[in-house]
Amino acid sequence: MKAVGARLPRYDGVAHVTGRTQFVDDVRVPNLLWAKALRSPLHHAGIVRLDTSKAESMKGVHAVVTHADVPRNVYGHLEALGIPADEPLLAEDDVRYRGQPIAVVAAESEDAAREAVEAIELELDERPALFDVRKAADPDAPKIHHWGNWYPHFEAGFDHRQIRKGDIDRAFDRADVVVSGVYRPAAIEHIPLETQVALTVPEPSGRLTIYSCTQALYFSMGVVAAHLQWPLNKLKFVGGTVGGGFGGKVDTAAETMTALLALKSGRPVKWRWTREEEFLCSSTRAPWHMEIQDAVTNDGWILGRKMLTLHDSGAYARFSPYGVTKHSFHHTGAYTIPNLHFDGYVVFTNRVPTSAMRGFGVTSVSFATETHVSRIADVLGIDPFELRLRNANRIGDTSPNGIVYTDPSTVPTIQAIAEAIGHQLPGAYGTMTRDPRAGDLLPEHLLSAVGEVDH
């Protein structure tokens, strides 16, 4: 029988539903120590004093690790893509969000580890915090990040990601109507059933075996190797089966900490985040602030788009510059808009760093673009199917960054939905295809947006 196209049962389905799949927390090893973290109780503060001596001398405590124990404390997950490092594994001079880890402890039990954390002496100098991305560039905004309040390291010294295409001023001059709106999807939790967890076992060979819930074994192994300044062959990552990720387990949250504690104590160390830590201290989907202004004609052509995006990155950059770039590449959604003026900023605030989540960078713009297009249809009194099909990207059209679309399916998917709900498409919209534009659906203003046409 053919395997591709077959409704075969999941490879791991029976094990999952009978509770026999082994996740990281199911792994049992002898001589285990348990980790707990001291986290910042404040949103923004300077660290005045950190004294772990009492905790270290407590019964059952085998290791306390602070920034001073990390061979390379500040490492950027996307340094290979040119996004420099800004986030310490363990806070050194500053804390920039409530819940930021400052020290980790390994002890004989989770209770003993918790008591040791409480015995660490921490003195903080509280500073004003910033939470509203819209106010981050105000003259009196608190200064919260050493790079400034927004990420300044895009290519060629740009402090934002920008897209420019066509002649935006001409598009707005020619428009019959200019429609503006603001779109603000929320931060949400990944809510994996399996909270962040790692177990590191020091092997007699000198290697470390790291049981990990990562979504990306080699990526996370690279992160640990960079912090430890070790070659990859001294590490063995064990994983591949994840109890829910949705993007949150691309952050390598617990692996390096347990590795450091295992090295210092010489014992296996497990750190499993509580549900409360998962909710309050793990990364979230980012909140986004998006403003769109579209130049449209009375008969429903979108001639041009201006857009401002403020991405709430939380306290550190993590993957946010990547997310905003991806966002910018897709800011016209499923449509061909020939004249564009987009500015996107990665804005720092004193909340838990936001990070990757299902649809990273684009879930936000899908909401903004589609709600805006629905509004335009309503303002103009045009069938929302027709408005979408008219502006839908077609084979041969070009994307915001100049790439020719080769197989867009906007037209057939919209037609399928119209048919499914029994909506009669007006005029020729029921029979149009995704093939290159022609006739009424290739107006003069789109000539420059068609890849094969040389203008």
Cβ proximity to another protein, 51 vs 134, nearer residue: 134
Q: What is the 3-state secondary structure (H, E, C) of 17-35?
A: HCCCCCCHHHCCCCCCEEE
Contact string (CB under 8 A) for another protein, positions 260-279, x = contact: ---------------xx--x
Cβ proximity to another protein, 48 vs 137, nearer residue: 137
Q: Choose which of 35, 83, 119, 136 interacts with another protein (CB under 8 A).
A: 136
Site for another protein in 359-378 (CB under 8 A): 359-363, 366-371, 374-375, 378
Q: Give CB contacts under 8 A, 24+ apart, made by 139-146.
A: 142/44, 144/44, 144/96, 144/315, 144/348, 144/349, 144/350, 145/86, 145/96, 145/315, 145/316, 145/348, 146/86
Task: Identify any residues that bridge with 356 across adjacent strands, giving them in sequence order.
Answer: none
The span from the CA of 205 to the CA of 146, in Å, is 41
Cβ proximity to another protein, 155 vs 454, nearer residue: 155
Tokens 């040791």 belong to 116
Site for another protein in 429-448 (CB under 8 A): none
Site for another protein in 58-117 (CB under 8 A): 81, 98
Q: Choose which of 20, 72, 134, 146 interacts with another protein (CB under 8 A).
A: 134
Cβ proximity to another protein, 30 vs 422, nearer residue: 422
Name the minimum Å distance from CB 257 to another protein.
19
Under the binding rule (CB under 8 A), the answer on residue 238 touching another protein is: yes
Task: Identify any residues that bridge with 269 across adjacent strands, giving them in sequence order.
Answer: 33, 200
Tokens 């792994």 belong to 27
The span from the CA of 12 to the CA of 22, in Å, is 11
Cβ proximity to another protein, 94 vs 312, nearer residue: 312
Cβ proximity to another protein, 119 vs 228, nearer residue: 228
Cβ proximity to another protein, 101 vs 287, nearer residue: 287
**C-beta of residue 135 within 8 angstroms of C-beta of residue 307:** no
Closest CA to 345 of 318, 315, 308, 317: 308
Under the binding rule (CB under 8 A), the answer on residue 328 touching another protein is: yes
Q: Can you give the length of the chain in residues?
A: 455
Q: Return all residues near 126 (Cβ < 8 A) that are at least 6 apart.
A: 42, 44, 45
Q: Choose which of 101, 300, 333, 338 interacts with another protein (CB under 8 A).
A: 333
Under the binding rule (CB under 8 A), the answer on residue 407 touching another protein is: yes
Name the minimum Å distance from CB 68 to another protein.
29
Q: Choose which of 64, 199, 228, 392 interacts with another protein (CB under 8 A).
A: 392
Site for another protein in 148-207 (CB under 8 A): 154-156, 158, 161-165, 172, 175-189, 191
Q: Choose which of 18, 140, 205, 206 interacts with another protein (CB under 8 A).
A: 140
- Strands 339-348, 101-107: pairing is unpaired
Q: Choose which of 14, 68, 379, 428 interacts with another protein (CB under 8 A).
A: 379
Q: What is the 3-state secondary structure (H, E, C) of 22-72?
A: CCHHHCCCCCCEEEEEEECCCCCEEEEEEECHHHHCCCCEEEEECHHHCCC
CA 325-331-326 angle, to 5 degrees, is 25
Site for another protein in 242-261 (CB under 8 A): 242-247, 249-250
CA separation (Å) from 373 to 252, 274, 294, 310, 419?
Answer: 38, 42, 9, 20, 20
Name the minimum Å distance from CB 196 to another protein.
14
The token pair at 147 is 């790079």
Name the minimum Å distance from CB 229 to another protein.
18
Tokens 């819940």 belong to 99
Contact window for another protein (CB under 8 A) among 63-71, 104-112, 129-137, 437-445? 129-137
Site for another protein in 12-31 (CB under 8 A): 12
Under the binding rule (CB under 8 A), the answer on residue 284 touching another protein is: yes
Name the minimum Å distance from CB 108 to another protein.
27
**C-beta of residue 448 within 8 angstroms of C-beta of residue 455:** yes
The token pair at 30 is 């002898």
Cβ proximity to another protein, 8 vs 428, nearer residue: 8
Q: Is the dihedral of CA 143, 145, 146, 151 positive or negative?
A: negative
Under the binding rule (CB under 8 A), the answer on residue 338 touching another protein is: no
Contact string (CB under 8 A) for another protein, positions 41-60, x = contact: --x-----------------
Name the minimum Å distance from CB 19 to another protein.
15
The token pair at 66 is 């602070």
Cβ proximity to another protein, 271 vs 385, nearer residue: 385
> Total binding residues for another protein by CB under 8 A?
140
Under the binding rule (CB under 8 A), the answer on residue 135 touching another protein is: yes
Name the minimum Å distance from CB 139 to another protein.
6
